[in-house]
């Protein structure tokens, strides 16, 4: 597991400070906003990296072998660690916009909290300093609880870094018809909205997300996004609660939501509420793929792209493995001892760091 925090020595920051780390001042000449926001390496020894930041010494401790060049970090006043907001060498960079949420999904991997720390200015600076053509995730909680600031952030990012694209996870409860103009101004090709739909039945969907009326409100939001021409990744976590209903949901998508960019069927994470409800919710699709097979066949026959997220390749029947890309972020991904020597390991996304094999897939083995 990759640590997204770096130990630092005391630094005189009086407000959250976003800095890009550079091993060589010349290496950032072609990047946006190089210069005053860069900290340049002046000394490195045994995991201790000293950077010069506008005349101040910024000391970062990181194990040897970790490449920090181009990373964007956030230093918070009085804290002995810095957040790695952007890892330049990784495609898996996500900003946690908020931990607040207006749903209580039974499998939520990031249970909501009441407190909110507003870091939109720092996130915008991090976008400004990100590598060329970066692809950045925004997640929560529910980011659109702060919809005005979210839209303002995306509009500003479109100006300062039009090359950067975003993947935004939202429960889809907060889009209005009037948002079309702002979505178009941001650039519908620059944002992929990841939005969950768990069942065709309004009652079952609402039960899973813990919010009465959520299904009906979601349909209105999806209509508004369709009218705006937005790109939508429809997300369905596969669970015992909805497994048998997946073909019905597939039929609904084919008839009512054919505009979506992709339907992502996802395996659970065993963390947060997902860990608490694992025994009652985890569906072992390595032992029973039947409903998934029917659902996938239906949408693919209708010309809608389907994908299997967070599925180890050995848990998927061979004819469907091409639909299972490596989607688990590198910082929370692991492989089992039995994965050693597997011929498909390089292409496989592996398992979540918190996966427990004795409570997981029963029908898997190295390929």
Tell me what pLDDT residue 230 has.
Answer: 97
Residues of the chain with CATH 3.20.20.70: 93-359
Task: Work out the percent of the chain whose per-residue pLDDT is above 70.
Answer: 98
Contact between 250 and 299 (Cβ < 8 Å)? yes
In this structure, are residues 323 and 307 in contact, taking their beta carbons and an 8 Å threshold? yes
**Whether residue 73 has pLDDT greater than 70:** yes
Rounded Cα distance between 85 and 100, Å, is 19
pLDDT of residue 40: 96
Q: Which CATH number fits domain 93-359: 3.40.50.880, 3.20.20.70, 3.30.390.30, 2.60.40.10?
A: 3.20.20.70
234, β-bridge pairs:
195, 263
pLDDT at 28: 54
Judge contact between 260 and 290, C-beta under 8 A: no
Label residue 367 exposed, middle or buried (CB < 10 Å: 0-12, 13-18, 19+): middle
DSSP three-state, residue 246: helix
CA angle 197, 307, 348 (to 5 degrees): 130
Other Cβ atoms less than 10 A from the Cβ of 136: the count is: 22
Quick one: pLDDT at residue 3?
Answer: 86
Please report the pLDDT score of residue 307 as a whole number. Answer: 98
- Tell me the residue length of the chain: 367
pLDDT of residue 35: 83
* 193 three-class SS: strand
Residue 32, pLDDT above cutoff 80? no
Q: Which residues pair with residue 263 across a beta bridge?
A: 234, 306
Give the pLDDT confidence of 161-194 residue by residue, as tens digits.
999 999 999 999 999 999 999 999 999 999 999 9
Beta bridge mates, 166: 136, 191
Q: What average pLDDT does this structure show over 21-29?
A: 76
- Give 63's pLDDT tier (boundaries 50, 70, 90): confident
pLDDT of residue 27: 61
Instruction: Say what angle helices 214-228 and 202-209 make with each other, to 10 degrees.
Output: 100
Q: Which residues contact 341 (CB under 8 A, 6 or more apart)?
A: 366
Query: Whole-number mean pLDDT of the chain?
Result: 95
* pLDDT value for 25: 75
Question: Residue 290 above 80 pLDDT?
Answer: yes
For the cut 80, the answer to whether the pLDDT of residue 130 exceeds it is yes
Question: Residues 216-264: pLDDT tens digits?
Answer: 999 999 999 999 999 999 999 999 999 999 999 999 999 999 999 999 9
Query: How much is the average pLDDT of 342-350?
Result: 95
Q: What is the pLDDT of residue 26?
A: 67
Mean pLDDT, residues 281-291 taken together: 97
Pick the closest to residue 6 from 57, 68, 51 (CA basis): 68
What is the per-residue pLDDT across 95-128, written as a single tens digit (0 to 9) for each?
A: 999 999 999 999 999 999 999 999 999 999 999 9
């Amino acid at each position: 597991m990759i640590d997204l925090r770096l130990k630092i020595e005391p630094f005189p920051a009086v407000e959250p400070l976003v800095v890009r780390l550079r091993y060589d001042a010349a290496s950032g000449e072609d990047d946006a906003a190089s210069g005053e926001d860069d900290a340049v390496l002046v000394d490195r020894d045994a995991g201790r990296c000293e950077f010069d930041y506008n005349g101040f010494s910024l000391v970062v401790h990181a194990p040897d072998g970790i490449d920090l060049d181009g990373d964007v970090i956030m230093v918070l006043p009085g804290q002995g660690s810095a957040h790695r907001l952007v890892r330049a060498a990784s495609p898996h960079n996500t900003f946690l916009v908020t931990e607040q949420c207006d749903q209580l999904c039974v499998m939520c991997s990031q249970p909501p909290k009441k407190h909110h720390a507003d870091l939109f200015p720092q996130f915008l600076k991090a976008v400004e300093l990100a590598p060329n053509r970066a692809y950045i995730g925004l997640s929560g909680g529910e980011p659109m609880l702060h919809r005005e600031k979210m839209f303002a952030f995306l509009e500003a990012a479109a100006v300062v870094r039009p090359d950067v694209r975003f993947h935004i996870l939202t429960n889809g409860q907060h889009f209005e018809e009037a948002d079309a103009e702002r979505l178009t101004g941001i650039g519908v090709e620059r944002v992929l909205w990841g939005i969950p739909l768990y069942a065709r039945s309004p009652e079952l969907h609402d039960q899973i997300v813990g919010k009465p009326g959520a299904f009906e409100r979601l349909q209105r939001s999806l209509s508004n996004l369709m009218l705006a021409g937005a790109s939508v990744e429809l997300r369905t976590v596969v669970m015992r609660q909805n497994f048998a209903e997946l073909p019905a949901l597939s039929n609904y998508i084919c008839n009512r939501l054919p505009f979506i960019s992709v339907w992502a069927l996802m395996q659970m994470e065993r963390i947060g509420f997902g860990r608490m409800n694992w025994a009652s919710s985890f569906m072992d699709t390595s032992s029973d793929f039947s409903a998934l097979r029917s659902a996938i066949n239906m949408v693919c026959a209708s010309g809608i792209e389907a994908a299997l997220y967070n599925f180890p390749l050995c848990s998927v029947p061979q004819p469907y493995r091409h639909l299972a890309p490596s989607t688990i972020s590198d910082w929370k991904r692991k492989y089992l001892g039995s994965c050693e020597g597997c011929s498909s390991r390089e292409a496989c996304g592996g398992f979540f760091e918190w996966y427990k094999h004795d409570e997981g897939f029963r029908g898997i083995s190295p390929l």
